[in-house]
Structure 1
Amino acid sequence: MFPDSEIAKQFTCGEKKSAYLSVFGIAEHFMQLLKKSVSGSGLYVVLFDESLNSKMQEKQMDIHLRFWNNDTNKVDSRYLTSEFLGHATADDMISHFTHSVLEISMYGPNVNWKFLKLLQEKLKQEHNSNLINFGSCSLHIVHNSFKSGAEVTGWNISSFLSGLYYLFKDSPARREDFTKVTGCSMLPLKFVSHRWLENVPVCERAILLWDKIVTYVKAVERKQVSKPTCKSYQAVLESVQDTCFVAKLTFFKMIALQLQPFLSQYQSNKPMVVFLFEDLVMLIRSLMRRFIKSEKLEQLNEETLEKLDVTNKDFHVTYSKVEVGFSSEKALSPVRMVSAKEESIQKFKKVLNVLLNAKRVDEMDCDVLLDQYLQFLESIPMFGSEKFSNFDKSTDSAD
Structure 2
Amino acid sequence: MSHPAKKRVLQKYRKEYSEKFPVLTTSKLGEHFTYCTLCSVDVNVGHGGISDIQRHIDSKKHRTNAEATKGKPLTSYFTTTSDVSVINAEVSFTEFIIEHSIPLSVADHCGKLFKKMFPDSQIAQKYACGRTKTSYIVDTLGKDSQKRILNSIRESPFSMATDGSTDYEDVKLYPVCVRYFDPKEGQVMSVLLSLTECAKPSTGENIFLLLQNEMDKFEIPWKNLVCFSADNASVMLGKVKGVSAFLQKKTPSLYVAGCPCHLMHIAAERASKHLPVKIDDLLIDIFYHLEKSSKRKQSFKAHQEKTGAPPHKILKHVSTRWLSLGHCIARLLEQWDALLSFFTEEVAKEKTTNKKHVEQGSSLSKPASLTPMSDTTAVKQKSAVLPCTKRPMTEGGNPAKNKKQKSLSCLPGSKKPVTSSAKPSKKKDIATSQCQDTSSSQKATNKEHAELGFSLSKAPP
TM-score of the two chains, using structure 1 as the length reference: 0.46
Bigger Cα Rg: 2
Which structure is higher in RCO with an 8 Å CA cutoff and minimum separation 6? 1
TM-score (ref. length: structure 2): 0.40
